Amino acid sequence: MMKSMARRAFLTGIGATIGGLALSRADVASGDASQTVELPFANGGRSLAAYPQKRPLIVLTSRPVQLETPFEIFNDGLLTPNDAFFVRWHLAGVPTSVDPTKYALTVRGLVDKPATISLADLKADFEPSEITAVCECAGNSRGFFQPRVAGGQWANGAMGNARWRGVRLNDVLARVGVAATAKTVRFSGMDGPVLPATPKFRKSLDLDVADGQDVLLAYEMNGEPLPLLNGYPVRLVVPGWFATYWVKMLNDIEVRDTPDDNFWMTTAYRVPAAPCGCQDPGTKVPTVPISRLAVRSFITNLAPGSSVDRQGKVAVQGIAFDSGSGIAKVMFSSDRGASWSPATLGADEGRYGFRQWSASFATEPGKQYGLQCAATSVDGSTQLAAPTWNASGYMRNVIETVDVEAAS
Ligand SMILES: Nc1nc2c(c(=O)[nH]1)N[C@H]1C(S)=C(S)[C@@H](COP(=O)(O)O)O[C@H]1N2
Ligand SMILES: [Mo]
């Protein structure tokens, strides 16, 4: 009830245009493309559009396609539906279709037996493995950074939680035989730049990370093949690590012994080396490649600005996640953090996934409430009371506030 009302209040019926689609216009589903949303920061006006295999999502850019999940969807269930899962591509040369019978994954470099593996062989020759994990863009929530920073101005919907099924990368690496001198593994996909001067999107992981139990070459998401825009037919899944490493339409794995000197490792996706990952605005600081997710939590059933029961007990529900140690506790406050009480945690559905929590607070007519939640992970990391800053707008994990008002 609350949810659909909040959603309606959130969407306004103004015409939206879909220009410059990377996918052909004929492919665009006939979803409701006549809606807009106002994200809660300056220049937050966005259109919604339905791309192939997607319900109407918030359009950040259309070439390349970047789509944000409307936040209320996170209240519908712990797994983010495939058709609502956010989309982020860096380069506009994304294949508009992939023939699964022609797909081939090359595994090469410092290996004993380089291999080219078809989709059918990947499924037939290796034991399947499943994991539920949050895929979060490093720049999720960038639009809230103060001072503002350049880059995609996402609200909180550049993340999603899915059940990923595929094969373990370490099984594939064992099959090809990694050389003793190997140090890193580099991944790239079928997308490419429109202009040859733009560097192709490639990401590298240290061998000890790539060879871990949980890293998957996933061909299914929530029991279905991956949507094209989420990396069909195969993507890398690196549970606990930011989504930049989750290379989509993966078709090349190269085992190497030298640090990766490509743009996407040496220039992009870096954070201040200090443990906080933060810096003062206007300063230049040493940086390291971004790696693991920061602990975060959100209220999902009440949108900012909602009005709640004038007198009574209002139920609050939300999600929390971290980089995979698991959620130890979530605290809830209805008075902007002046006082806190423990929220009730939902079932543990996997340490890399969203964990549900619930709480309630009492209302009085006409009063305003600053709702906050703060998660602590099993490894002891916490959310920040005040936001920190970095030049790329990455890794936000401040305690968020949802302001609501009881009717008078
Ligand atoms: N091949 C390829 N994989 C990629 C990217 C890309 O541009 N190309 N972007 C990465 C980034 S930064 C993010 S946030 C995630 C987004 O995954 P999604 O579109 O499935 O939500 O894909 C990652 N994998
Ligand atoms: Mo990202």
Q: Given this model, what pLDDT does residue 196 score?
A: 86
Cα 385 to middle of ligand 2, angstroms: 24
Domain check: are 140 and 281 in the same one?
Answer: yes
Q: Does 257 share its domain with 397?
A: no
Q: Residue 113 sits in a domain of what CATH number?
A: 3.90.420.10
Ligand 2 geometric centre to CA of 320 (Å): 19
188 & 257 share domain: yes
Q: Counting atoms of ligand 1 from 1, which one is nearest the CA of 226?
A: 20
Residue 164 contacts residue 153 (beta carbons within 8 Å)? no
Structure tokens at 203: 């990401």
Q: How confident is the model at residue 197 (pLDDT cuts 50, 70, 90)?
A: confident
255 touches 182 (CB < 8 A): yes
Segment 53-104, tens digit of pLDDT: 999 999 999 999 999 999 999 999 999 999 999 999 999 999 999 999 999 9
Domain, as residue range, for 326: 296-406
CA gap 108, 75 in Å, rounded: 43
Distance 241 CA to ligand 2 centre (A): 11
**Nearest protein Cα to ligand 1, atom 21:** 87
What integer is the mean pLDDT of 328-333? 98
Which pLDDT band, with edges at 50, 70 and 90, does 19 fall under?
A: very low
pLDDT for 28 beyond 70: no
Q: How confident is the model at residue 233, as a pLDDT?
A: 98
The closest of 66, 96, 97, 69 to 82, measured between CA atoms, is 69
Å from CA of 336 to ligand 1 middle: 35
- Ligand having the closest approach to the CA of 247: 1
Number of domains in the chain: 3
Task: List, for residues 383-395, the tens digit of each pLDDT value.
Answer: 999 999 999 999 9
- Residues 134 and 246 occupy one common structural domain: yes
| Residue 59 falls inside a structural domain | yes
Q: For residue 43, is pLDDT > 70?
A: yes
Query: Across the chain, what does the average pLDDT equal?
Result: 92
**In this structure, which residue's CA is closest to atom 18 in ligand 1?**
87
Which of 68, 80, 90, 216 should be mutated for ligand 1, with most atoms under 8 A from CB? 90
The reply to whether ligand 1 has any atom less than 6 angstroms from the CB of 332 is: no
Asked if the bond preceding 233 is cis, omega within 30° of 0, the reply is: yes
319 in contact with ligand 1, CB cutoff 6 A: no
What one-character DSSP code corresponds to residue 261?
A: -
Residues 259 and 308 reside in one and the same domain: no
What CATH number is attached to the domain comprising 351?
A: 2.60.40.650
Percent of the chain clearing pLDDT 90 (strictly above) = 90
Distance CA 144, CA 250 (A): 32
Ligand 2 centroid distance, CA of 181 (Å)? 31
Q: Residue 246: CB within 6 Å of ligand 1?
A: yes
Same-domain pairing of 127 and 158:
yes
Sequence-ordered list of residues with C-beta below 8 angstroms from that of 352, at least 6 positions apart, any chain: 131, 132, 133, 134, 214, 239, 240, 321, 323, 324
Which of 228, 248, 249, 262 has most ligand 1 atoms within 8 Å of its beta carbon, as the pocket-test mutant? 248
Q: Is the CB of 142 under 6 A from ligand 1?
A: no
What's the gap in Å between 135 CA and the centre of ligand 1? 9
Segment 257-291, tens digit of pLDDT:
999 999 999 999 999 999 999 999 999 999 999 99
Q: Atom 4 of ligand 1 has which residue's CA nearest to it?
A: 247
Boundary-marking domain end, from 289, 312, 338: 289
Give the pLDDT score at 29.
Answer: 41
pLDDT at residue 25, rounded to an integer: 35
How far apart are the CA of 243 and the centre of ligand 2, in A? 5
> Which ligand 1 atom is nearest residue 139's CA?
14
Closest ligand 1 atom number to CA of residue 138: 14
Does the C-beta of 249 come closer than 6 Å to ligand 1? Answer: yes
Q: Residue 139 CA: which ligand is closest?
A: 2
pLDDT at position 330 is 99
Backbone angles phi, psi at 270, to 5 degrees: -120, 150
Kindly state if the Cβ of 137 falls inside 6 Å of ligand 1. Answer: yes
Res. 23: pLDDT tops 70: no
Domain boundary among 238, 268, 289: 289
Same-domain check for residues 131 and 280: yes
Q: Which of 289, 321, 343 is the last residue of a domain?
A: 289
Q: Which of 246, 249, 252, 394 to mutate to test the pocket of ligand 1 (most atoms within 8 A of CB)?
A: 246
Name the percent of the chain lying above pLDDT 70. 92
The answer to whether residue 93 is domain-embedded is no
Residues 57 and 123 in one domain: no
Same domain, 276 and 337: no
Give yes or no for residue 32 having a pLDDT over 80: no
Q: How far is the CA of 90 from the centre of ligand 2 (A)?
A: 8
pTM above 0.85, yes or no: yes
Q: Does 200 contact ligand 1 (Cβ within 6 A)? A: no
Contacts of 257 (CB under 8 A, 6+ apart): 110, 179, 181, 182, 183, 184
